[in-house]
Structure 1
Amino acid sequence: MPARKTSSPAPLESASPLDDLPSLRGLVAFDVTVRLGSMTAAASELDTTQPTISQRIRALEEHLGHPLFDRQGGRLILNHYGESFHAELAGGLGKVCSAVTEARRKVHKPTPRITIAAGAGFAHVWLRPRLERLEQDFPDCHFTLLPIDRDEDPQMQQADIAIRFGPPLTGDHRDTLVVAERAFPVCSPDYARRHGLEKGLDAEALSRITLLHLDMRDTRWLDWATWCRHAGLPVPRLDKAFPYNNFPLTLNAAVNHQGVALGWSHVIQDLLDNGSLIALTPHISRDRHGYRMSVRHPNSAVIQPITRWLTREFSGLEIPGPTSRQP
């Protein structure tokens, strides 16, 4: 007869160290009692009662299988076992509490919402391409860009940071000039070669090239007629000039070899740097005109680093070359 097979008992699963951890409340009650020297003081710090602290420590001692204090005449004195246990516990428990506090702080910390208002052309051509870097440098902030062309628009006036173009605003002490105006003709390198514009514009060149301009009447901005008067050049016939209703479209036409537009150094720097456009002479500078920044709460610890960031971005954008300066 074959031997009967007996089944061996299944191996017991090894217990995880986490399965035998005492209550965190008991550990905290013990740690605070040791630090402050009494259960009454610990109860005050933990916003509970002395009997509750006593119960938690008793439960911890039962879990560990050994008393932590020598209780003599109502006094609590750490015994040798309690001293050793607290020395091992304090550092780790402090790290756990700090980690929990930091995690809760990040969850409940409000995200500052910063609104930056600027002219539509400037917001599209200069500010929008820099938004990603701005968000990377200030990851705790949420930014909203408002393209607004009218200074009197309530959203422009209520924005945390407003970037305007023009002369100083009357009565606004927060209004700061960050870059003075410098305007000059721009076109694609190909258009300049085809029309012999490498030496800049003169009366003869103005009479035969296509001028691209904005079809808007805003005295803050130079148009071709005003630019020519400042540059000391005769105003050409403008009935054949091609009008656009916004600045990005005007620049796009210039990039695509369709004519010559007026450009401002602080707006088109990126297009000059990447070779899409070249700057022609003469250059016109008006010291009282330019981009101005108004900050609604200039002393805010949140806003100040952002305005410094924007000011640094504005720096170094002047284009060298011959300049005809006007007041």
Structure 2
Amino acid sequence: MSQRPPSMASLIAFEATARLGSMTSAADEERTTQPTISQRIRALEERLGVPLFHRQGGRLTLTAQGERFYDEIAPGLKQIRESCERLIQDGKRPSPSVVIAAGSGFTHLWLLPRLPALKRAFPDLTFKLMPIDRADAPELQGADIAIRFGPYVPQDRGRLVASEAVFPVCSSDYARQYDLKDTLTTADLPRISLLHQDIRDPRWLNWAQWCRHAGLTLAPRDDLFAYHNYALLLNAALAHQGVALGWSILVQDYLASGQLVELGPRVTRKDYGYWLSVKHHRSAVVEPVSDWLLEAVPTLPS
């Protein structure tokens, strides 16, 4: 006899018939017909070369070889059925969900581009990203992982994602058009368009505050246009419309691709940066995700 085993369909037909005592009951369980079960058992007997059932009128009884064969294969088929059922039930359960809340700029410019890699790293999880700009928003407090911008807050037990580093950025075409060198000077400011974000939040530097930290003098101007979204602000810079303030972690991809260029000087503030905190510490689901996010941030030049 060939070493190729009998078909699984024939083994299932035999096991069900032996366990239930009739081909009709086996057909009902397997959702097929009695003749199909009979054909599969006949094929199995021919394949093995021994009768498995005594057929006496309408009654079936196992032969000695049939009883031994049933005792040997039944546990394995039962284990296969149970394993399949577990997988089916697992598939019906919703995947654990992790909610990550962060500022809209961080969400759109850093998290979203890395979401495919995050999903590949944790294929059994689903992720919900929530762009939240208010530091006191309840959604930020309730998220599994919260990434906040601002000074360090001891009670949050936050881990540093990236320190603050703020500097002017523009397209290389704009820099050439206005003959901007590596570092802006007070003399450069009146002749270039300064792109502003209209966000009334003391955590963020505006141009006037940045100039004070950088040691530059900014004369009053009335040609200001405010963007209400940081991503839109950067889009304007990408479209050669002026110079924007760039936070290093938010513009790093644009700098690496050459779409934007950095103009000095850099401004930093003590203890300011992006801080990651988790709702439930030592969570077997959330902690690996938070570790992955921290490791995904490259070491940025200071």
Q: Which amino acid aligns with 1:181?
A: E
| TM superposition shift of 1:284 | 1.1
Q: CA contact under 8 A between 2:18 and 2:70: conserved in structure 1?
A: no
Instruction: Tell me whether 1:166 sits opposite 2:164 in the alignment.
Output: no
Aligned to 1:66: 64
Aligned to 2:134: 150
Percentage of identical aligned residues: 45
| TM superposition shift of 1:237 | 2.9
> Which structure is larger by alpha-carbon Rg, 1 or 2?
1
Aligned to 1:324: none
| TM superposition shift of 1:301 | 0.4
Matches within 5 A, 1:204-215: 204-215=187-198
Aligned to 1:131: 115
Q: CA contact under 8 A between 2:147 and 2:275: conserved in structure 1?
A: yes
Equivalent residue in structure 1 for 2:87, among 100, 103, 120: 103
Aligned to 1:56: none
Aligned to 2:230: 247
Instruction: Tell me whether 1:262 sits opposite 2:260 in the alignment.
Output: no
Aligned to 2:57: none
Q: Deviations over 1:2-40 (max 9, x none)?
A: xxxxxxxxxxxxxx736842228939xxxxxxxxxxxxx
Instruction: Tell me whether 1:187 sits opposite 2:186 in the alignment.
Output: no
Q: Deviations over 1:25-71 (max 9, x none)?
A: 939xxxxxxxxxxxxxxxxxxxxxxxxxxxxxxx9995532278xxx
User: Partners in 2 of 1:25 and 1:292 — Cα distance?
Assistant: 65
| TM superposition shift of 1:244 | 1.0
Q: CA contact under 8 A between 2:196 and 2:207: conserved in structure 1?
A: yes
Q: CA contact under 8 A between 2:182 and 2:262: conserved in structure 1?
A: no
| Aligned-pair Cα RMSD in Å | 2.7
Structure-2-length-normalised TM-score = 0.77
Q: CA contact under 8 A between 1:115 and 1:144: conserved in structure 2?
A: yes
Aligned to 1:121: 105
Equivalent residue in structure 2 for 1:200, among 173, 180, 183: 183
Q: Which amino acid aligns with 2:144?
A: D
Structure-1-length-normalised TM-score = 0.71
Aligned to 1:298: 281
Q: CA contact under 8 A between 2:145 and 2:277: conserved in structure 1?
A: yes
Give the match's secondary structure for 1:235. Answer: coil
Aligned to 1:9: none
Q: CA contact under 8 A between 1:207 and 1:237: conserved in structure 2?
A: no
Q: Which amino acid aligns with 1:17?
A: S
Task: Give the paired residue count.
Answer: 258
| TM superposition shift of 1:274 | 1.5
Q: CA contact under 8 A between 2:18 and 2:62: conserved in structure 1?
A: no
Aligned to 1:17: 10
Q: Which amino acid aligns with 1:65?
A: T
Q: Deviations over 1:222-280 (max 9, x none)?
A: 11111111111112333223321111111000000000000011111111122111111
| TM superposition shift of 1:206 | 1.4
Matches within 5 A, 1:77-88: 82=68, 86-87=71-72
User: Partners in 2 of 1:217 and 1:20 — Cα distance?
Assistant: 73
Instruction: Tell me whether 1:308 sits opposite 2:301 in the alignment.
Output: no
User: Partners in 1 of 2:18 and 2:146 — Cα distance?
Assistant: 52
User: Partners in 2 of 1:139 and 1:257 — Cα distance?
Assistant: 40
Alpha carbons of structure 1 residues 63 and 223: separation in structure 2 relative to 1, 3 Å: farther
Alpha carbons of structure 1 residues 95 and 252: separation in structure 2 relative to 1, 3 Å: same
